Structure 1
Amino acid sequence: AMCRRPAQLPAPARPARSWLRVPRLALRHRLSALSSGVCRPAPWHHRPIAFLGFLLSVNALRPLANRDPQVALYRTFPTRLVSRAWGRLNGLDLPTWLRKPIYSLYIWTFGVNMQEAAVEDLHHYKNLGEFFRRRLKPAVRPVCAASCLTSPADGRILHFGRVQNSQVEQVKGVTYSLENFLGPPSRPSPDPASFQDRLLSSPDRALFHVVVYLAPGDYHCFHSPADWRVELRRHFPGSLMSVNPGVARWVKELFCLNERVVLSGQWQHGFFSLTAVGATNVGSIRVYFDQELRTNAPRYSKGSFQDRTYVAPGDQVKTGEGGVALRKGEPVGEFNLGSTIVLLFEAPADFTFDLQPGQRIRMGEALGTL
């Protein structure tokens, strides 16, 4: 059964004051009002920065979808360089007096609910990076105990369903290759079966997927969606194109082109993987139990990937030994801004999703039932 969300705390009433005519005082008054309490998402015409970003990332680039050479031109944009520069900027400490106005503008633009933050005082966050990676109060994200599979992050459901013919849908009508996304098998097999079939531990089971898109205003940490063991980490350096749903509709195999970190292993029903996909300004992907992982390096070889196994030679994975054991709801890693999480998992054929395309979801809420 689907776990319900906890009751929301009422937002404090906004003081009924008219705008001051002096521009500087009006701006100061507006920022002060924004930072005084919980800010909820405003209509697009009241969120100029977000609206401008949407136009640039989607509408301005949509004509490029008609011709492959122009899509290739978009792929040549220095998104990795821009992302590294953005990361440096995020790490610069802000003067105490400037923190509240800057963070208030971000809160207003992206509808951040600071009442959920473990530390609500904006002066506490020394730089933008700390603010992006803010922690939440434990009570605001309860993990559904009734479901074996829960959402790994706050975000929006882009797509979900069964994997067919080793092809996965990134959005409706746009697919990518399962093998290109996960990479070749770590152990070659003479079995002529399809890549999808080789992942399954039983022919009576099926392979499912779900894609969760994290917007810039969302909580940026991701958690374990189930009880499982991570056996392998595979890091694919690559592009850092926008993963905005509008862009994902016209850039084929976007998730295979972007930098990503694939964690794969086993859960109670067989194969299980969680992939953190990077995006523009999200070059830094951190996995808490893997200190060796370094993303968005200045140079990389196209098509290359690096593996790290968590299973020692003497471990018997099939008996529950070896690998990194994760519990449902346990923190796994974080992004520097919004991005995308892709889950691929084996389950009985009667597994059903309790989801709707495009719906908002929170970390810990149920994804489906058996």
Structure 2
Amino acid sequence: MTVKGLIAAFTGQENINFLLTNRIPRAAVTRFMGWFSKVENPLARDVSIACWRLFSDLDLSEAKKTEFKSLHDCFTRELKPGLRPCDPDPAIVASPSDAIVGAHGAIRDGELYQIKGAPYSLIDLVGDRALVEKHSNGRFVTLRLTSSMYHRFHAPYDAHISRVSFIHGDVWNVNPIALKRIERLFCKNERAVIEMQLASGEALTLVPVAAILVASIRLHFLDRVLNAQSRGPAVFPCDVRVGKGEELGWFEHGSTIIVLAPEGFEFCDGLAEGARIRAGQPLLRKP
């Protein structure tokens, strides 16, 4: 068996995986990685990226750069131009990121689910009853970014961003193993709630959820990083217009984006749990 095969077999054991990624001082490890990932030392960079390749399916052939200053620089890499074209159909709401499709379905009685049989409350996720009302009987899609994926996310449609709320929290891993074991996990982790309105009036909300290790969310239009060290206001009124496919920001580690749509929106053909999707590909269809 190859080294990668041995590592996969070892870490694939659910109990071991959960212990290694959750039963550790999560906040302290996350702060350390936030510092270490930005160290601009060639040896630290090269060893870190080599280990990352060993433990994942990291592919840097699409990256705009061929050399990186640090591990962080590699995590937050841009892609070569034209590699994530956005579906031009005006009826299509595009995926904001590269991801693996997770739980998705109808929002019923204010509840969603992180896996089948594990519901959580929309009010606990977004913290705003008016926003919950906008998505009553709507649809939700969970998009999970793995550590090796492209970490930048984009506007799923032409829209006006009216507010961003940052909710402090924990930094649990958000992989399927943790989702099976930690109830209401998305409601416990750090997250941002990005409120958008389409030109036709419908509400569309993105909830980027941070996870263990770097656990930071960068939004271009706020020109700031949101994380556990963030101080000051937690609610940011905005007046920003974005075009479909425009880059909104990035995660500094793999995590999750929950997309919330109002009643009447439907899933695009072929959307299935476990399927891989790329930024710009069809996700939802407007009524």
Alignment TM-score, normalising by the size of structure 2: 0.88
1:352 aligned residue = 267
Q: Distance in 2 between matches of 1:127 and 1:48?
A: 28
Gaps of 5+ in 1: 1-42, 64-73, 187-194, 311-322
SS of alignment partner, residue 140 of structure 1: coil
- Change over 3 Å in CA distance of 1:78–1:99 after alignment to 2: closer
SS of alignment partner, residue 272 of structure 1: strand
Shift of 1:167: 0.2
Shift of 1:78: 2.7
The AA in structure 1 aligned to 2:64 is: A
In the TM superposition, 1:198-209 aligns within 5 A as 198-199=133-134, 206-209=137-140
1:80 aligned residue = 27
1:314 aligned residue = none
Shift of 1:133: 0.8
Aligned residues: 281
Contact 2:109–2:137 (CA<8 Å) still a contact in 1?
Answer: no
Shift of 1:291: 2.4
SS of alignment partner, residue 348 of structure 1: coil
The structure 2 residue matched to 1:270, chosen from 193, 198, 202, is 202
Q: Distance in 2 between matches of 1:360 and 1:292?
A: 30
Point out the more displaced range, 244-253 or 266-275: 266-275
In the TM superposition, 1:129-140 aligns within 5 A as 129-140=72-83
1:237 aligned residue = 168
1:179 aligned residue = 123
Residues 1:284 and 2:212 aligned together = no
1:306 aligned residue = 234
- Change over 3 Å in CA distance of 1:292–1:112 after alignment to 2: closer
Shift of 1:52: 4.6
- Change over 3 Å in CA distance of 1:132–1:47 after alignment to 2: farther
**Could you report, residue by residue, the CA deviation over 1:295-342 in whole angstroms, capped at 9, with x for unpaired residues?**
122899xxxx821111xxxxxxxxxxxx21111111111111100000
- Change over 3 Å in CA distance of 1:51–1:132 after alignment to 2: farther
- Change over 3 Å in CA distance of 1:241–1:108 after alignment to 2: same
The AA in structure 2 aligned to 1:244 is: N
SS of alignment partner, residue 81 of structure 1: helix
SS of alignment partner, residue 209 of structure 1: strand
SS of alignment partner, residue 234 of structure 1: strand
Q: Distance in 2 between matches of 1:183 and 1:46?
A: 42
Q: Distance in 2 between matches of 1:281 and 1:339?
A: 10
Which is higher, the Rg of structure 1 or of structure 2? 1
The structure 2 residue matched to 1:90, chosen from 37, 50, 55, is 37
Q: Distance in 2 between matches of 1:62 and 1:128?
A: 24
What root-mean-square deviation, in Å, do the aligned CA atoms of Structure 1 and Structure 2 show? 2.7
Q: Distance in 1 between matches of 2:58 and 2:80?
A: 14
Contact 1:47–1:108 (CA<8 Å) still a contact in 2?
Answer: no
The AA in structure 2 aligned to 1:173 is: G
SS of alignment partner, residue 225 of structure 1: coil
In the TM superposition, 1:1-370 aligns within 5 A as 46-49=4-7, 52-55=10-13, 58-60=14-16, 77-95=24-42, 99-100=45-46, 102-119=48-65, 121=66, 124-146=67-89, 147-185=91-129, 196=132, 198-199=133-134, 206-267=137-198, 268=200, 270-297=202-229, 306-310=234-238, 323-348=239-264, 351-354=266-269, 355-370=271-286
Contact 2:10–2:16 (CA<8 Å) still a contact in 1?
Answer: no
Shift of 1:62: 6.3
Gaps of 5+ in 2: none
- Change over 3 Å in CA distance of 1:104–1:161 after alignment to 2: same
SS of alignment partner, residue 262 of structure 2: strand
Q: Distance in 2 between matches of 1:211 and 1:330?
A: 20
SS of alignment partner, residue 100 of structure 2: strand
